Structures are given as structure tokens and as C-alpha cells.
């Protein structure tokens, strides 16, 4: 299997599978670990927050089945905002809604267009939460993922390279001191733990790569 994506466009079905099936399954499988990470430097709810959110996303996408990529992302983002308690709900909701808005109402988008839209989404998350890379948040996984997608490559943006970059970014949060969100209240004591949000972001990008590879 390869994730060379330049030769294919992504339709609404692709995005429904990514968020409603593959990412939702990954969140189910990782919920305990995400909550455990959040119990070390937060309030032990990140896994259950996302589980609730992605169950709602799955249900809504099955019911409504939006027919454009943009509409899928906007609807999923809206669900996350209204069902995920905590800081991560509005942040992930903004990520998906802003990315969806940037895609407009095209029935299919190229991986390059998706990359550009995701950049807009990540910028919106940075504006909303005020976090920069190195602050020990989801941005530490999302930013390198978008950068990997933006890197010039003959075969076009590689979702697998993005997933690997996000994973490295999440691992690299361990020695960092949290400067945003609940973990920042711990100051120095946040050092030595992997950030739950960066971990779930890496999971979502890995689900994107898995979805692209399964479609080939």
C-alpha cells in the first residue's frame, strides 16, 4: 500500500469515513490511554470527552451524510463543539469547521487543496487557543503535520508523512513545560508527561493516513 495521494481527489465519502469511522474507532480504542495521560497533567477527561464527541460525529454523519467534503467537516466540527466538554471541544471543532469552510462546497478536493484548508484550520486553532509550537498542546502535533503536508514532494502531500510528523511532535511534548490550558497550572510538574491533546491530534492524523491507504 502507498499513500501517494496526488493522483486522486477526496470526496465527501472519504471525509465521512475518516471522521465518522476510522478516527471514531481510533478514539474508542485510545480513550483509556488519553484519559490516563490527562490524569497526569489535567483532569482525566480527555478520552471520555473525545469518545462522546466522536460518537456524536458518527451518528450525525450516518444520519445526514453531507455530500461535500466541506459540509462533512463543518458538521463534524459543530458536533464536537456541542458535545465535547473541556478545552479540546471548541479547539477541535474550530479546526474542522475552519478547514471545512476553506474547502467551500466543491464535491471533491485535491490533497493539495485539503492541505491548504487544514493550514487555515490550524491557524484558527492557534488564534483561538493562543498556543504556539512548544507550549505542550495539540499544536505540537498539528503544526508539524501540516508542515509535512506542505513539504514539496513529487507525489504530492503524503498523509503518512504527516501522521509520522504528528506522532514525533506528540512524543516531543514529554520534556516540555505546559504553557497553555489546564496543564499549565502545574508549572514544572507538567514536565515528563506526554500531552493528551497532542496525542489525540496525532491519532486523528494517523486515521487520515489509514483512510487514504484503505481507499487505494
34 interface partner picked from Mg ion, ligand ADP, none, CB below 5 to 8 A per type? none
Binding segment for ligand ADP among 11-19, 66-74, 127-135, 186-194 (CB under 6 A)?
127-135
77 interface partner picked from Mg ion, ligand ADP, none, CB below 5 to 8 A per type? none
Determine the Cα–Cα distance for residues 213 and 216; give it in Å rounded to an integer: 6
What residues form DSSP beta bridges with 158? Answer: 4
Among 46, 33, 159, smallest CA distance to 92 is for: 46
Under 8 Å CB-to-CB from 52, ≥6 apart: which residues?
83, 84, 85
Determine contact, residues 125/95, Cβ cutoff 8 Å.
yes
204 contributes a contact to ligand ADP by CB under 6 A: no
Select from 95, 197, 202, 206 the one that contacts ligand ADP (CB under 6 A).
Answer: 197
What character string, x for contact with ligand ADP (CB under 6 A) and - otherwise, covers 48-77? Answer: -x----------------------------
What character string, x for contact with ligand ADP (CB under 6 A) and - otherwise, covers 88-107? Answer: x--x----------------
Q: In this structure, what are the phi and psi dihedrals at residue 4, rounded to the nearest 5 degrees? A: -60, 120
Record the cell numbers describing residue 59, joined without a space. 451518528
172 contributes a contact to ligand ADP by CB under 6 A: no
Select from 137, 190, 194, 211 the one that contacts ligand ADP (CB under 6 A).
Answer: 137
Determine the Cα–Cα distance for residues 153 and 157; give it in Å rounded to an integer: 7
Q: Which is nearer to Mg ion, 46 or 119 (CB)?
A: 46
Mapped onto helix, strand or coil, the DSSP state of residue 4 is strand
Return residues touching Mg ion (CB under 5 A).
38, 42-43, 45-46, 86
Amino acid at each position: 500500500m502507498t499513500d501517494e495521494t496526488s493522483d486522486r481527489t477526496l470526496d465527501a465519502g472519504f471525509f465521512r469515513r475518516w471522521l465518522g469511522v476510522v478516527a471514531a474507532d481510533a478514539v474508542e480504542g485510545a480513550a483509556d490511554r488519553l484519559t490516563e495521560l490527562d490524569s497526569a497533567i489535567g483532569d482525566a477527561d480527555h478520552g471520555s470527552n473525545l469518545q462522546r464527541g466522536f460518537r456524536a460525529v458518527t451518528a450525525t454523519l450516518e444520519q445526514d451524510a453531507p455530500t461535500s467534503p466541506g459540509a462533512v467537516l463543518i458538521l463534524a466540527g459543530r458536533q464536537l463543539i456541542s458535545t465535547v466538554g473541556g478545552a479540546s471541544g471548541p479547539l477541535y471543532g474550530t479546526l474542522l469547521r475552519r478547514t471545512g469552510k476553506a474547502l467551500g462546497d466543491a464535491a471533491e478536493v485535491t490533497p493539495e487543496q485539503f492541505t491548504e484548508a487544514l493550514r487555515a484550520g490550524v491557524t484558527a486553532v492557534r488564534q483561538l487557543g493562543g498556543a504556539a509550537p512548544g507550549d505542550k498542546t495539540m499544536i505540537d502535533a498539528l503544526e508539524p503535520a501540516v508542515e509535512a503536508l506542505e513539504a514539496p514532494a513529487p507525489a504530492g502531500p503524503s498523509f503518512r508523512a504527516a501522521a509520522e510528523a504528528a506522532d514525533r511532535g506528540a512524543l516531543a511534548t514529554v520534556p516540555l513545560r505546559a504553557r497553555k490550558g489546564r496543564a499549565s497550572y502545574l508549572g514544572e510538574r507538567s514536565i515528563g508527561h506526554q500531552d493528551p491533546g497532542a496525542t489525540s491530534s496525532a491519532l486523528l492524523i494517523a486515521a487520515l493516513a489509514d483512510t487514504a491507504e484503505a481507499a487505494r
